[in-house]
Structure 1
Amino acid sequence: MQSFTTDSLVSHLGLGNFDPEDAFLATAELYRKDPLFCVPARAREILSRRGADTPIVMLGRSHFGANFMSALGQRGKLLAVVDDFRARRGEQYYGVDITTTDGLLAMARQDPDIVTINACRADFSKRYFDDLCRNHGIPCMTFEQGARAFDLNDTLDHRVADWGSVIGENVQSYHKLAQRMGDRYSAETLYGVLGFHLTGNPEWLLSVARPIPTLYFRSGLFSLSAHERMVDCGASVGESTNALNSATQGRFDRSWMIEPDRLNIAGLQVLLRKYAGTDIAAKLTLHQCAVGEHDDEVPFQHLGNHGSAVLPASGAPDVPRADYVRVRRVDDIVDDKPTIIKMDVEGSELAALKGAAGVIRDARPKLMVSGYHRSTDLLGIPAFIDTVAPDYRIGLRHHTEDRWDTCLYFY
C-alpha cells in the first residue's frame, strides 16, 4: 500500500499520483488510532487546556453553524458570529452577536485562545475565512472537525452528524462497496466522500464533485427515454419534476409528486396551475404524504423548501396534531410501473425503499437515492437493494461543494 503522511491526508497536499483506495485505508487507520488526528494542533492544545471554557467564534451564518451552536450547550463559550454584511445592522444569530471580520481580529488580539469554526457552505466563503485565519494565526476548524473536537454527535441532527466512527468500524464493507460499483468514477467518489468525512477537509469532496445541475438526470450513468415515469419522493418545490421535464424536453409519461410539507404543497399546487391546459398537466399527480415502510401518522417539521423532515418519536408529545403527516408506502401510491424512483426524504430513504420493494422488484426502475442524510446510508441502502434486486449496477456521484447531495444510483 502507498505510504502517506498525516499532514498530506489531512491537508490533501503532497499526495502525488495517489491511489484513492490506499488513501482511504491510510486515513481510516489514522482515525482508528486517534479520532482527533484531523483537528489542528493549536486548537487541540487550547481545548485540552481550557475545556468547556474554550472561546468560540462562528465564521458565517449557515445551517451548519446553527446546528453547531444548538448542539454545543455548555461544552464551549460562543462569543460571536462573523458576518460583515449583517453586523452593521446590530443583528444577532440565534441569540449570539454578529460581528465583522475586523471585530474578529480585534477579539483574537485580546484572547489568542479564540477558536473559530468555519461553517460556511459555499467554497468561496470557506476559503475567505480559511485564508483570514491562517494569515492571522487564528485556530480554525471546519464544521466537521469542530463537531468531532467538541464531541457533539449526541446532540446534533443526524443529517450533520460525524461519520467517523461508522466509517472506522466498517472499512472492509466500504471496500467491498467500492468493488461493487459499476464504474471507476463511482468508486473514486466513494473514497472521496469517505475521506472528507474522516478528515473534515472539503478538498476530498471537491476532488470528485460534479456541478449541482448534474444531480439525478445528468449523472452520466444512464440515459433517459421519451417515456419515463418517475416517482418523485420528496418533491419539495417541484425541482426534480421540472428537471425531468427539461431533460426530456417534455417527453415523459408521468410524475407522481409525493410531498408531506404543507408549505411545499402550496408551491406544488402553483406548479400544477402553471401547467394547467397543457399536455404536461395530465402527466402530473400530487400526493400529500410522506413515504415509509408502513402506513402511519408521524410528527413532522414543516419548514418549506428543503430540510423539513419527520421528527423523532421523542419529540412527538410537543408536536400539535395539525403538524402530523400521513405516511404511505410507494407500493400503494403508484398505479403504473415506474421507470424512475427518486428519493430525497431527509433520512427516511431506507424505510421508504422498504415500502417500495414490490415496485422495485416488479418494475426494476432506475433508482436515484440520497445517500448523505445518515452515516449508515451508503452501506445500508445498497445492502437492502441487493436483497430486493441484486442485479442492479450501483453508481455514486457527489453534486455540491459541501456535504449535501451525495447520491446513490441503481440502474
Structure 2
Amino acid sequence: MISIPSIKAFLFELNFESRHPSLFCQRLYALIAGCSFYHFDETSYEHYRPEEVPDYALERSYFKRQKRRVAIWKKIDAAFGLEKLEAAYEMFDDERSKHLFLLRILNNVYDRLLVRFPLFYSKQYQKLSKIAALADETEAVSLWNGLLTFMKYPLRKIGVDLTLWGGPDGIFIEFLLDQYSYKDIVSIEDGDNIIDGGACYGDTALHFATQTSGQIYSFEFMRENVELFHKNMELNPKYKDRVTLVERPLGARSDEKLYAVFNGPGTSISDKKTDGAVEFSSITIDDFVKENGVEKIDFIKFDIEGSEENALRGATETIRKFKPKLAICGYHKKDDLIVLPKLIKELLPEYSLYLDHHTINNTETVIYAAVKKKI
C-alpha cells in the first residue's frame, strides 16, 4: 500500500514545473533528483583518496526517492530561501560558476556531501601524492602544541621558485590549482599591488610575489602563524622585501576590540570575549591604504575564517576607487554564497562574478570578481 507521504511527494513532483518555472529551480531540482538515486553512508570523505572512497548505495524504491527529493528541496528552501538563492545564482557570469553554485548549495545543507565536486574526478587531484613526495623529511616544524607538523618543500621541482615550510594539501591547492585565480579573468599581473587577507604561513604572499613586482600587504595576527610566516620569508629572501606583514585582524571598522581563541589555521575572531580569548585591535583596508599612502590596490584576497563580509565593508573606498580584482573565500558561513556576492555587487555594480571550488570536501570555495576589460 502506498503511504500518504509518498502520494504527497508524487503530487509535489507532478506539479513542480508549473509552480517553479525558472531555469534555476529546474536545474537545482534536476540535481536533487539525480542525488535521490543513491546515498553515501560516510559523513565525510575528505581524507580519502578517490580510489579508496566506498561506493554509493543505490536507493531502488521509487517512492523513497521521491520523498527524498522533496525533503532535500524543502530543507534547502528553509535554510536559504529560494528567492535569495536564485538572485545569487543569477549574479554569476558563466555556466561553470553557476553549476558549482548549485553543487555548493546542495552540499551546504547537510553535514555530508550529497554530490561529489568536479575535482574528485580530475587527473589533477592525483598530483597531490607528487607534492607529498617532495618533502624534505630531515627537518620539521611543529605548531599548535604538536597538532600540526610541517616539513620543508623545495618547490623548484614543480617549477616554482620557492622553498616552503608547509603541508602537501595547502601546497597543492595554492600552487597547482592556483586557488586565487580564475581562468584568465582574475589573476595576478606583473606590477599588481596585493592585499593578502588571512596570510597564515606566508605561502600565498610568496606565491603572489613570484608573479608580480608590486607590493604584497599581508594581514595575519596569530602568533604561531606569524612565526612560521617569518620562517618562510627567511627561506626566500629574494621576495621578502616586497611583502609587508600587518599583525592585526581585518574588520569593518578600525580599532575595534576583537577576540580570538586559537584554533590553528581555522582560528576566527569575534567581538565577544570568551574564556581563553586573546584581544586584538582591528584595522580596515581603507584606513591601512590611506595611513600608509598606498598609491593603488590591484588585487584583494580574503581567506579570514568568516570575517570576509566585515573586511569587504572595511574596504569599500578602496574597492570603489581602484576596482581591484577580488578572490574572496565563500565557505566559512552557510550563507556566504548569498551574502557575499550581493555585497560585492553593491560595492561595485560593474563587477562580473565567478565561482570555483578547490577540494573534494566543503572547503576552499572562492568567489572572484573583476571589471571586464573593454576590447
Tell me which residue corresponds to 1:188.
99
Aligned counterparts, 1:5-404, within 5 A: 22-25=26-29, 117-124=42-49, 128=52, 130-131=54-55, 164=75, 168-198=79-109, 202=113, 204-207=115-118, 212=173, 213-217=177-181, 219-246=183-210, 248=211, 251-276=212-237, 278=238, 280-295=239-254, 296-304=256-264, 306-311=265-270, 313=272, 316-320=273-277, 323-334=278-289, 335=292, 336=294, 337-404=296-363
**Cα offsets for 1:105-124 (capped at 9, x unmatched):** xxxxxxxxxxx753331342
CA 1:204–1:265: 2 relative to 1, 3 Å: same
- Change in Cα spacing, 1:118 to 1:201, as seen in structure 2 (3 Å) is closer
1:246-290 Cα shifts (integer Å, max 9, x gaps): 4x2xx33010010011111111122333344x3x23311010010
The question of whether the paired residues in 2 share the 8 Å contact of 1:260 and 1:290 is answered with: yes
Once the two structures are TM-superposed, the CA of residue 220 in structure 1 deviates from its matched residue by 4.3
Q: Work out whether residues 21 and 191 of structure 1, in 8 Å CA contact, stay in contact via their aligned partners in 2.
A: no
Query: Aligned AA for 2:276?
Result: V
Letter in 2 for 1:215: Q
Whole-angstrom distance in 2 between the partners of 1:172 and 1:25: 14
Q: How many residues align?
A: 281
Q: What is the aligned partner in structure 2 of residue 68 from structure 1?
A: none
Contact 1:301 1:311 survives alignment (8 Å): no
Letter of the structure 1 residue corresponding to residue 259 of structure 2: P
Give the CA deviation at 1:185.
0.9
- Which consecutive residues of structure 2, in runs of 5 or more, have no partner in the other structure? 1-8, 11-22, 59-67, 125-172, 371-375
Verify the 8 A CA contact 2:195 2:216 in the aligned structure 1.
Answer: yes
CA distance in 1, matches of 2:215, 2:78: 39
User: Given the two structures, how large is their TM-score scaled by the length of structure 2?
Assistant: 0.65
Amino acid at match of 1:263: E
SS for the counterpart of 1:328 is coil
Q: Secondary structure at the match of 1:395?
A: strand
RMSD: 3.7
Question: CA 1:187–1:328 in structure 2 vs 1: closer, same or farther (change >3 Å)?
Answer: same
1:409 is matched with which residue: 360, 368, 375? 368
Structure 1: how far apart are the matches of 2:180 and 2:94? 16
Q: 1:180, CA displacement in angstroms?
A: 2.2
391 and 124 in structure 1: CA distance in 2 versus 1, 3 angstrom threshold:
same
Quote the offset at 1:128 in angstroms: 4.0
Residues 307, 346 of structure 1: 8 Å contact kept: yes
Q: 2:127 — aligned with what?
A: none
| Identity score, percent | 20
Q: Distance in 2 between matches of 1:299 and 1:168?
A: 28
Structure 2 Cα separation of the partners of residues 220 and 398 of structure 1: 16
Q: Contact conserved, 2:194 with 2:300, CA < 8 A, in 1?
A: yes
Distance 2:324 2:357 in 1: 21
Q: 1:205: how far off? A: 4.2
In structure 1, what is the Cα distance between the partners aligned to 2:266 and 2:232? 20
Any conservation in 1 of the 2:76–2:106 contact (CA below 8 Å)? no
Alpha-carbon contact 1:342-1:369 (below 8 Å) kept: yes
Contact 1:231 1:255 in 2 (8 A): yes
CA contact (8 A) 1:24 1:194 kept: no
After TM superposition, the score normalised by the length of structure 1 is 0.60
Shift of 1:223: 4.1
Tell me the distance in 2 between the aligned counterparts of 1:171 and 1:118: 26
1:222 shift after superposition: 3.0
Distance 1:293 1:372 in 2: 19
CA distance in 1, matches of 2:323, 2:207: 22
CA–CA separation in structure 1 for the residues paired with 2:198 and 2:243 = 15
Residue identity in the other structure for 1:190: F
Alpha-carbon distance in 2 for matches of 1:201, 1:119: 6
Q: What is the letter of the counterpart of residue 100 of structure 2?
A: T
Q: 2-side partners of 1:38 and 1:372: how far apart? A: 27
